[in-house]
Amino acid sequence: MSSEELAVLAANSSFYRAFAAHDVNAMDAQWARRVPVAVVHPGWAPLFGRENVMSSWRGILERGETSIRFERASAHIIGDAAYVVCLEVVSGAALVATNLFVREDNVWKIAHHQATPMSPPQREAPRPKGPLN
Amino acid sequence: MSSEELAVLAANSSFYRAFAAHDVNAMDAQWARRVPVAVVHPGWAPLFGRENVMSSWRGILERGETSIRFERASAHIIGDAAYVVCLEVVSGAALVATNLFVREDNVWKIAHHQATPMSPPQREAPRPKGPLN
């Protein structure tokens, strides 16, 4: 694994650490400031812009109800951006998340997060002709 | 809107045109060849690598059952990558999709696609304290 990929995975870990700790300030520090940011929480309409994105995190984190951990993260560098795909276990439910990162002042920051619930039977072996899209 | 954003939206349209036409070759042509690609179909485990990603599209497109259209696409440039968030209407169901693009030979190609089902009540007004994550 390249040092860039390791740095992206470290940023991904920081994101989930802030999430698991319900730490609004730490979460804020993970998000990019110079590129357009967005978030797609499962079931929600997409949210755009730093103010809306952070407001959604404040709502989620301040409730303090969520337990979250991630597994099987893989980092993929595409030019000066990178994406991580990982599994999330959120209060016992399995999701797949994509986290998109950009480098700001040589530090990887998250620009976009999207999570999709995963159907339990698909987790170990995706069926070749699964749900559409 | 910048010319870059317009070019990314055009690439996003080409992706959905190939999808709607169930055109495997056109879909193949949309996907990047020089960066790691991935796809998260709703409910599936994530798929990595061009062979796995295209195999999933062949399975979906060759069945020819899916009607798909997209709405409200917005493009966001982050360095030499870009992401589009849009709504998908897939066989009547609403989803939110993120499509990640990179430039190859000055043409925007898709590197990652993830779609998340949207709960109908959230579509017009996301609730401030919605589902977790």
Predicted TM-score of the model (pTM): 0.88
Three-state SS at B91 = coil
CB contacts of B112 in chain A (<8 Å) are 76, 83, 85, 98
Per-residue pLDDT for A66 more than 60?
A: yes
Mean pLDDT for the stretch of residues A29-34: 98
Given this model, what pLDDT does residue A124 score?
42
Task: Indicate yes or no: CB of B122 within 8 angstroms of CB of A90.
Answer: no
pLDDT at B97 over 70: yes
Residue A123 has pLDDT above 50, yes or no: no
Count of H-run helices and E-run strands, chain A: 3, 6
* Rounded average pLDDT over B11-18: 98
Which residues are bridge partners to B110 per DSSP? B31, B101
The pLDDT score that the predictor gives to residue B106 is 92
Coil, helix or strand at residue B27: helix
Half-sphere exposure of A44 (CA within 13 A, CB side): 24
Q: What percentage of residues in chain A have a pLDDT greater than 90?
A: 77
Inter-chain CB proximity B114 and A114 less than 8 Å: yes
Q: For B43, which of A32, A103, A131 is closest by C-beta distance? A: A131
- pLDDT tens per residue, range B51-66: 999 999 999 999 987 8
The predicted complex's ipTM stands at 0.87
A70 neighbors B32 (Cβ within 8 angstroms): no
Q: What is the pLDDT of residue B80?
A: 86
- H-helix segments, chain B: 3-20, 24-30, 50-63
A118 by DSSP, 3-state: which?
Answer: strand
**Between the CA of residue A15 and those of A4, A22, A109, B100, B127, what are the distances in Å?**
17, 11, 9, 20, 23
pLDDT digits (tens, 9 = 90+) for B64-76: 878 899 999 999 9
Residues 6+ apart with CB under 8 A from B33: B50, B104, B109
- A109 Cα to chain B: minimum distance (Å): 12
C-alpha to C-alpha distance for A2 and A4, rounded to whole angstroms: 5
* pLDDT surpasses 90 at B122: no
- Pairs of CB atoms within 8 A across A/B: 202
State yes or no: pLDDT of B133 exceeds 50.
no
Q: Is A28 exposed, middle or buried (0-12, 13-18, 19+ CB in 10 A)?
A: middle
Measured in Å, how far apart are chain A's first and last C-alpha atoms?
A: 31
Nearest CA in chain B to A16: B133
Selecting from B116, B125, B131 the residue whose C-beta is nearest the C-beta of A116 gives B116
pLDDT for res A121: 46
Contacts of A131 in chain B (CB under 8 A): 41-44
Confidence bin at A1 (pLDDT 50/70/90): confident
The shortest C-alpha distance from A48 to chain B (Å) reads 9
| Nearest neighbour of A36 by CB, restricted to B60, B76, B132 | B76
Q: Which of B40, B78, B133 sits opposite A90 (nearest CB)?
A: B133
What pLDDT is attached to residue A45? 93
- pLDDT given at position A120: 59
Is A81–B81 a contact, with Cβ atoms under 8 angstroms apart?
yes
The answer for residues whose C-beta is within 8 angstroms of residue B67's C-beta and 6 or more apart is B20, B90, B91, B92
Q: Which residues of B touch A128 (CB under 8 A)?
A: 55-56, 59
Q: Quick check: B131 and A65 in contact, CB under 8 A?
A: no
Minimum-distance CB partner of B102 among A47, A79, A117: A79
pLDDT tier at A92, thresholds 50, 70, 90:
confident
